[in-house]
Chains A and B, each alone.
Chain A
Amino acid sequence: MSEEETMLVQKISDGTVIDHIAAGKALSVLRLLGNPENRGVTVALVANVQSSKMGKKDILKVEGVELSDEQVQKLALIAPLASVNIIRSYRVLQKKNAVPPKTLVGVLGCKAATCVSVREKDSVSSIFTLVSSNPLVYQCKYCGRDLTGQEISAQLG
């Protein structure tokens, strides 16, 4: 983040800063993270920030919460360009890039009404495998149908 961007909200002492979220997707990211703001966690959301890479972007700062690797992987489903900075004592302790998981179990739902993972959903977990990271495409293990990044965002957002 540039100095101008950091001026919008104060720095956090400990927690996570998620940068390079596509503009308009920050609320979806919060939902994916289980809406930490509802548990009393301090969250700062900066929307529509100018970005040389993305045109416009959103930024999230989550105080006192460090994203796990699994959460970072899931983040890649709706914010594939996101970068994650883990902050301790106002310093960047670790940088993580969102990488889509190779396999997703029970996270996404198949779009085909006739897929066994839909019809037998009480006894079967959906399983999707990564076909492509850019553009984001996952394939249902059971019926072979693809889910695009847009369809995934619509499900998770």
Chain B
Amino acid sequence: MSRDAWAGTDVLSILDFSRADIETLLKEASTFADNPKSAKKSLKDEIVATAFFEPSTRTRLSFSAAALRLGAKVIDLSPDVSSVLKGESLADTIRMLDGYSDLIVIRHPSEGAALLASEVATVPVINGGDGSQHHPSQAMLDLFTVKRLMGRIDGLNYAVVGDIRYARSAASLLYGLSKFKPGSVHLISPESLRPRDEVRDTLLKLGLKTDQLANLDDVIADVDVIYLTRIQKERFPDPNEYEKVKGSYRITKSSLARAKKGSIVLHALPRTNELAYEVDSLPSAAYMKQARFGVPVRMALLDLVLGGSTR
């Protein structure tokens, strides 16, 4: 996909993009990351609408910051104080935003909500997370972080740790890695948090080889990127199932003692008790940098989709 071909594209899943597309995005994001304040106000005539039906700190604010850095205006739907509370359907809500803006960023607890929004809207839709399914911009910024900090994505060994069943960031990262040539990819989780059938089937179709392990310690000495996920308490159909796995894994300084030299720890955040605060002081702790890269990556995404730099 050339730069021009990004224009007007819906961004629903990282699966919809090729390696070349992603590399185009990462290259542009790199320019913005070097100096975000000096970015040309390429989107000064655009309005970006954010519609977050689930809590968010990083995705919502970094999309807003990215839009503002590029000179766009941002309008925000607050489901708590909008007609959503009166029972307005998602489709009608999106129709309104479609009339008021030039691009919609949506997060919703239902899988497929962003796809539905894209079917209703005439303007591009970016999926800011739909249930446990996709979170493409998170995967893009995760890949950007790896490239930026490790110099490459290919050939590295990855361990995705924790709730791979419900964490859309984990599934999206794995889909993203399938576009590249990683070394080994280990999935490390309690049995009940292993990938859902449809994720496992998709990975098989994509040809991404993974192995399923119970303990990070078994492979930590050989892993370059440790990608940790929070247990997605809000997505468990049965609270008792959450109670069974709560606290079943935790990364601490001592658990990283045998980690490979030069390896990094990533986390889409927010963290709960799976990531000890004492890890923050280690050179491998890269999750705060990762969160900050959300702005340049989303600047690149908005700029490419809205065709800012081509004007």
Contacts and interface: CB of A to CB of B under 8 A. Distances in A.
A123 B90 contact: yes
Contact of B197 (A117, A119, A142, A146): A146
Contacts of A117: 112
Interface residues of B, number: 23
Contact of B198 (A114, A141, A144): A144
Contacts of B133: 143-144
Contacts of B196: 145
A112 interface: yes
A128 to B, nearest CB: 12
Contact of B116 (A113, A122, A142, A146): A142
A139 B111 CA distance: 13
Interface in B22-44: none
Interface in A110-144: 112-120, 122-124, 139-144
Interface in B162-210: 196-198, 201-202
Contacts, number: 60
A58 to B, nearest CB: 31
Nearest to A143: B111
B112 A142 contact: yes
B302 interface: no
A114 B131 contact: yes
A113 B235 CA distance: 11
A146 B111 contact: no
Contact of B109 (A114, A122, A144): A114
Interface string B193-235: 0001110011000000000000000000000000000000001
B149 interface: no
B110 interface: yes
A119 B110 contact: yes
B237 interface: yes
A146 B202 CA distance: 12
A143 B130 CA distance: 9
A115 B91 contact: no
A139 to B, nearest CB: 8
Contacts of A120: 89-91, 110, 113, 116
A42 B235 CA distance: 51
Given A124-B116, A143-B133, A116 B202 contact: no
B115 A141 contact: yes
A115 B112 contact: yes
A118 B237 CA distance: 15
Interface in B235-255: 235, 237
17 contacts: A113-B237, A114-B109, A115-B110, A116-B90, A116-B108, A120-B116, A122-B89, A123-B89, A123-B91, A124-B116, A141-B112, A142-B112, A143-B111, A143-B112, A143-B131, A143-B198, A145-B197
A124 B201 CA distance: 26
Given A116-B90, A123-B90, A146 B198 contact: yes
Contacts of B131: 114-115, 143
Given A113-B237, A120-B110, A145 B91 contact: no
A146 B201 CA distance: 10
B92 A115 contact: no
A148 to B, nearest CB: 11
A139 B90 CA distance: 22
Interface string B248-288: 00000000000000000000000000000000000000000
